[in-house]
Structure 1
Amino acid sequence: MAGCAGVAIHLLPRIACAATAIVLPSAADQRQFSVYYKGSRIGAHTILYSSATGETQVSTRISLLVKAAFFTMFRFSHSSTEIWRDGQLMSLRSETVEHGETLRVDGVATPQGFRVVSKGGPFIAPAATLTSNSLWTPAVLEQTTLVDAQYGGIIGVSARKFADEQIVIAGRQIAVTRYTLITPYLAGSIWYDEKNLWVRGEFERDGSHIQYQLDL
């Protein structure tokens, strides 16, 4: 899956539009998605926002568990905290546990760029970087690379606008824009509403189809 996505990244056209400003949502716009696999809920993906002294903290929490009978087939957890100021990422701290291995990623803005330290070693990303957790803003779809908040390093990303649509969430029909998205870890579709808030997702990861449904 990762190899195929890596090749396909170079084949998709870029989104043909002006750069989207990174507008940080407020606490009232926090997101919680239930994650489904084969019709069963396997966990949640939550994004929380809080602001103080001119900075915004964006916290991401992901917890997934797939069982078959009495056996655990897949377990994944991720937590990260990002600090943003004036639309720019100032710091990142994350911890991911997958297949029993714990990975940590730390990043901080420096005069040379955004410095990231992970298992793979330190590196400098562009100062205006976003992370793989930045799906909360459609500006992430205009990037060509992202800081990998889960495993460290840099990953490629490619997206294009698919269609303007009407979808139903919690019994209410809303106008949304659907985009296709490819990274080395997942490929699929992501939807944003008219306020540029993430409202739905359908992805393929490691050959498995997962759905994100917004909890209201």
Structure 2
Amino acid sequence: MHPRRLLPKLFAPTLTALLPGTARAQQPRSGRGEVPAIPQAVPPMRADYRWRVMRNGSEIGSHSVTFSQRGAELIAISDVSIMPKLLGVVVYRFEHRYTEVTRAGGFVAVQSRQNRNGSIVEVSAEAAPGRVAIRGPEGALNLPANAAPLSWWEPQRFGGAVPIFGTTTGRLMDLRWSRLALPGGGVQWRCQGEVDATLAYDMHGQWVAYSVIGDDGSTVSYTAS
């Protein structure tokens, strides 16, 4: 089974940390001679995701996405581990970890490391003036300034809203999207092209379902753990 289809390029994670500077107000000093700091806007904390990865009724791995805050930045760490077994023996190993930083919903940086049966691929990307600077298997690349990684927990990027790049290639992806409203205010997205996946989100934008078609025609799906 091709790992890019098993768990698409959005899985990936450890990131380049960008420490936010401390904003200072241009205000009169306090009696102690100190300049009061302007509080930074803190992004709302998001609920973590923990999934069991299923194929043909059997659990073959896990995918977790955990969130933390660093000042005005939101840090998402995605960790995928796929190890299907035959007669109790691991026959395939796919591990993908990437960390993404956003600020006020905008992409800041991402760092990804993929291990596919011992073959390591690393990709890093960082928002820069007028571009997104990529370093990956194809060397240094510059993508459009509004480009962002394919992160399944960020559905506001879908449907052509921004150029999407793969966290295991560093290249822009060829994706086609369709959207379907669900009862209760949720939404279903269908992604086709380099990845053939179906996802669902509730009325609050929380990721609640995922399935993808593998190269062998089998369906890999997620079950909340």
* TM-score bin, normalised by smaller chain: 0.7 to 0.9
Unaligned residue ranges in structure 2 (runs of 5+): 6-41
- How far 1:123 moved relative to its partner? 0.8
CA contact (8 A) 1:137 1:197 kept: no
Distance 1:26 1:210, change over 3 A: farther
1:199 maps onto 2:208 in alignment? yes
What runs of 5+ residues in structure 1 fail to find an aligned partner? 6-23, 167-174
Pair member with larger Rg: 2
Aligned pairs (5 A) from 1:1-216: 26-132=44-150, 134-143=151-160, 145-165=163-183, 176-184=186-194, 186-207=195-216, 208-215=218-225
- 2:205 corresponds to which letter in structure 1? N
Q: Cα offset for 1:125?
A: 1.3
C-alpha distance in 2 between matches for 1:88 and 1:126: 14
Percent of counterpart pairs with the same letter?
Answer: 21
- The separation in 2 between residues aligned to 1:96 and 1:123, in whole angstroms, is 19
Q: Is the 8 A contact 1:42 1:64 kept in 2?
A: yes
Please report how far the alpha carbon of residue 26 of structure 1 lies from its aligned counterpart in structure 2 after TM superposition: 4.4
Q: How many residues align?
A: 185
* RMSD of aligned residue pairs (Cα, Å): 2.4
- Superimposed CA distance per residue, residues 171-213 of structure 1 (whole angstroms, 9 cap, x where no aligned partner): xxxx6322211241x3131100000111101110222310111
User: How far, CA to CA, are the matches of 1:68 and 1:212 in structure 2?
Assistant: 20
Q: Alignment partner of 1:89: what SS?
A: strand
Q: Taking structure 1 as reference, are residues 135 and 146 closer, same or farther at Cα in structure 2, changes over 3 Å only?
A: same
Give distance in 2, aligned partners of 1:152 and 1:68.
33
Give me the TM-score of the superposition, normalised by structure 1: 0.77
Task: Name the CA distance, whole Å, in 2 between partners of 1:206 and 1:73.
Answer: 17
Partner SS state of residue 135, structure 1: coil
Q: Distance in 2 between matches of 1:28 and 1:163?
A: 23
Structure 1 residue 27: Cα displacement:
3.9
